[in-house]
Amino acid sequence: MSRRKNKNLHVVRDSEEQTGRFGRQIVTELDSEEISQEEVEHQARRCRKKSRTKALAAAVTLLAAAAGIFLFIHLQTYTDILVSDTYGGAGTGGGTYVQFADGMLKYSRDGISYLNQKSEEQWNQPYQIKNPFVEANEVCAAVYDKGGNDIFVFKKDGVKGEIHTALPIQKMAVSKQGIVCVILKDESAPKIICYDTAGNILVEHKTSLEGTGCPMDVSISPDGEVMQVVYLHTQGGKIVSKIGYYNFGEEGKDRIDRQVVSKEYEGTVLAEGFFLSQNMSAAIGDNLIVIYKGKEAPKETIAIKVEKKIKSVFHNERYIGMILKNDGKSGYELRLYNASGKQVLSEEFLGEYSHVKICGSQVIMYDGKKCSIFMRSGIKRFEGEMDHQILEIFPVAGVNKYIVMNTDGMEHIRLVK
């Protein structure tokens, strides 16, 4: 795209050129009349002050113009798209897509591959998995056979390991180091096992329905040193959820089963847990959010009661998001909390969206061809329809720019009015 010259802008000369001009002005005055040294210094200070004032005024004008342009762009709701590039190739055909690193993964029952931002296949790992699920973070990801026994661990540059479990896999989490924690189905009670990328068992944790309760979810810290497990059991006829943290480093070596934290919550069903970062983690229930802080032995910092019915939960390293069903009226509420538990966004919307994700400070919702994008500030960035069914979408560098994988291939788009 060619750039146009802005006639309203002028160049502010650098300090060396300004100093030269000051000097020439002072010399001229010395040649024309006799003045004292004090007068010379006074004239020099006045010239410098005048120049600084002009430079400051120019800078303020530029900043004001930039702020105006920024607000004009970001305070609007866009309703259409402009396709700048389209790529076919490896990206077309059947499969499920998920954002990973600066590209995306394409996976199916027959294999998994990594595509760059031009839909070019960087690597491909064939397999036979009946029910593939993918768990991913910024660095590492893993695909597993839910109800089966196979796991493949990989990074952006390719597959790093293959793991085969002795029992069927119910749930799985993966750290940035490639350490995998899985809940395995057993006839007596589920087991929780952690593996390295070579398939070696690092930790084996036994659960019991009478003791720990049934494990609902497992997650692991980015460095692979702390594991969080969410349990559910009954106690005296009441439903009780429990959160346990297990430290595999120095902090946990003298603890029973390396458990450093255990806390119970009555009257709620905690079903999902995750790490936002190395020091922050959370668990979500049917009516409760609990946030923990700490690296070695996390401590609860806040418990938030949720009055509405939770439809879905999503998160990144900074925010916890939820889609809540409105009571007594149609539609839903989009709500965001920061890592400290403070509510930072509440926006209502209509329509059903089967996919919700958060990328940076943008919440992206899509279903079929329709898509809505909310900013952390509460501004609705986009509401409209694409030309084809959306399979994955995420923002890229540039103003209003996104990559969309759809049934026709990969498109680079810009939001427009």
Q: What is the pLDDT of residues 158-183, one digit of tens each?
A: 999 999 999 999 999 999 999 999 99
Number of domains in the chain: 1
Inform me whether the pLDDT recorded for 33 exceeds 70: no
Helices and strands in the chain: count of H runs, count of E runs: 2, 32
Specify the pLDDT at position 15.
42
Name the pLDDT band for 45 (thresholds 50, 70, 90).
Answer: low
Total residue count of the chain as it appears in this document: 417
Specify the pLDDT at position 93.
64
Specify the pLDDT at position 220.
97
Name the pLDDT band for 88 (thresholds 50, 70, 90).
Answer: confident
Name the pLDDT band for 197 (thresholds 50, 70, 90).
Answer: very high
Q: How far apart are CA 46 and CA 31, in angstroms?
A: 19
Task: Specify the higher pLDDT residue, 313 or 206.
Answer: 313
- pLDDT (tens digit, 9 = 90+) per residue, 255-303? 999 999 999 999 899 999 999 999 999 999 999 999 999 999 999 999 9
Name the pLDDT band for 67 (thresholds 50, 70, 90).
Answer: low
Specify the pLDDT at position 46.
66
Contact present, 304 and 321 (Cβ < 8 Å): no
Residue 34 lies in a domain: yes
Tell me the average pLDDT of the chain: 87
Name the pLDDT band for 78 (thresholds 50, 70, 90).
Answer: very high
Q: Which phi-psi region, left, alpha or beta, contains residue 253 (left: φ > 0; alpha: ψ -120 to 50)?
A: alpha
CA 73-355-313 angle, to 5 degrees, is 95
Specify the pLDDT at position 2.
40
Across the range 323-343, mean pLDDT stands at: 96
- Residues facing residue 237 across a β-bridge: none
Name the pLDDT band for 417 (thresholds 50, 70, 90).
Answer: confident
Residue 41 lies in a domain: yes
The alpha carbon of 8 is separated from its chain's Cα centroid by a whole number of angstroms, namely 40
Specify the pLDDT at position 298.
97
Q: How far apart are CA 278 and CA 389, in angstroms?
A: 36
User: Could you list the residue range(s) of the whole structural domain that residue 48 is in?
Assistant: 15-74
Residue type, 361: S
Residue 42 lies in a domain: yes
Which of 142-146, 185-189, 329-333 is predicted least confidently?
185-189
Q: How far apart are CA 197 and CA 162, in angstroms?
A: 7
Specify the pLDDT at position 37.
55
Residue 376 lies in a domain: no
DSSP readout, 179-194? -EEEEE--SSS-EEEE
Residue type, 402: Y
- Count Cβ atoms below 10 Å from residue 265 Cβ, excluding itself: 19
Residue 414 lies in a domain: no
Q: How far apart are CA 287 and CA 251, in angstroms?
A: 32
Contact present, 116 and 403 (Cβ < 8 Å): no
Residue 30 lies in a domain: yes
Specify the pLDDT at position 56.
75
Name the pLDDT band for 53 (thresholds 50, 70, 90).
Answer: confident
Task: Report helix, strand or coil for 112.
Answer: strand
Name the pLDDT band for 79 (thresholds 50, 70, 90).
Answer: very high
Which of 16-25, 40-49, 337-346 is predicted least confidently?
16-25
- pLDDT (tens digit, 9 = 90+) per residue, 89-116? 665 667 999 999 999 999 999 999 999 9
Specify the pLDDT at position 66.
56
Residue 5 lies in a domain: no
Closest CA to 277 of 223, 354, 337, 344: 223
* Type and span of the H or E element at 52: helix 37-74
Across the range 119-131, mean pLDDT stands at: 96
Return the sign of the alpha-carbon dihedral for residues 276, 279, 284, 289.
Answer: negative
Closest CA to 300 of 239, 341, 360: 341
Residue 235 lies in a domain: no
Name the pLDDT band for 36 (thresholds 50, 70, 90).
Answer: low
Across the range 29-50, mean pLDDT stands at: 55
Task: Specify the higher pLDDT residue, 322 or 71.
Answer: 322
